[in-house]
Amino acid sequence: MGSRTRRSRGAGLTRWTRAVDGAVTIVAFTESGRMRRVRVSKRLLLVALLLFVVLLVGSTTSVLGLFRGQVDLARMTYLERENRSLTSLLDGQAEQLSRLKLEVARLKEFEQSLRVVSGMDAQADPMVGTGQTRGTKRDLPRKR
């Protein structure tokens, strides 16, 4: 059975070898009406065909790579623009936050000043926005 496989493999190879043996005659007619014959080896045609296929695949790969590079470049440009926009927005929010912190500090000072003027405990830690100081809950009279 092993020799049979070798023969069939050898027979297939022999078929291919016979298929590319020989030559192809190309007949061309010129404008003046003369006939011109060119004989080209089948092996040379096969090599030229393989070279053409390799070049076609390489060119297609290069064009697709170029297209992909252009898409990536456009995407990067968009993301950089979006990043700059978000950065400026974040800077504006940080500025607004610092203004709010200053305003809260002023309110605390104002509350302390009011407590001093009204005679309330100025030492207690003020709780801005609640009207209460920490630690004074127990001083309030209980409801009955």
pLDDT tens profile 79-108: 999 999 999 999 999 999 999 999 999 999
pLDDT value of residue 120: 79
The pLDDT, as a whole number, for residue 17 is 74
| Band of residue 124 on the pLDDT scale cut at 50, 70, 90 | low
Q: How far apart are CA 120 and CA 132, in angstroms?
A: 11
- Cα–Cα distances in angstroms (integers) from residue 76 to residues 70, 73, 82, 106, in the given order: 10, 5, 10, 45
Confidence of residue 5 (pLDDT cuts 50, 70, 90): low
The CA-CA-CA angle for residues 116, 120, 125, to 5°, reads 85
